[in-house]
Amino acid sequence: SLRIQHFGEQIKGNQEFYSSNKRVAMDLNMEVIPRTLTFFVNDIEQPNYVFNIPGAVRYFAQIYYKTDSFKILSFSKLSSPMAKHPEGSFGWEYGTKWMKRASD
């Protein structure tokens, strides 16, 4: 599974997107307190999201292999967030050390 990491351990649980033609979206909601960052893979909201995002952010991407690539399809401000954070999702606080939960 896809792992997210900040300070501390890698957190499992989000869907992989290593295979070709997967669409990855990030819903960065700067209009609410706490600010949130939620990931989507092929339009499916992923269970692990990040909260307490700082007021200013930068985007970057990293590729590991020479044959890897990515393409930004759009960058837009939405009128309302896509993220719902349904039951079973879990928020990880930005700026703190992340420790795996027993279910990870």
> pLDDT tens for residues 36-84?
999 999 999 999 999 999 999 998 887 878 888 888 889 899 999 999 9
Which comes out higher in pLDDT, residue 4 or 53? 53
- What is the spatial distance between Cα 81 and Cα 84, in angstroms, rounded to a whole number? 8
The conformation of residue 3, written as its DSSP 8-state character, comes to: E
Contacts of 34 (CB under 8 A, 6+ apart): 51, 52, 53
Give me the pLDDT at residue 62, please: 77
**Domain limits at 54?**
2-98
- What is the spatial distance between Cα 73 and Cα 1, in angstroms, rounded to a whole number? 23
Domain contains 60: yes
| Helix-then-strand count for the chain, H and E | 0, 8
Domain contains 103: no
Specify the number of domains making up the chain.
1
Q: What is the pTM of this model?
A: 0.87
Give me the pLDDT at residue 59, please: 86
Domain contains 22: yes
| Residue-averaged pLDDT of the chain | 89
Domain contains 104: no
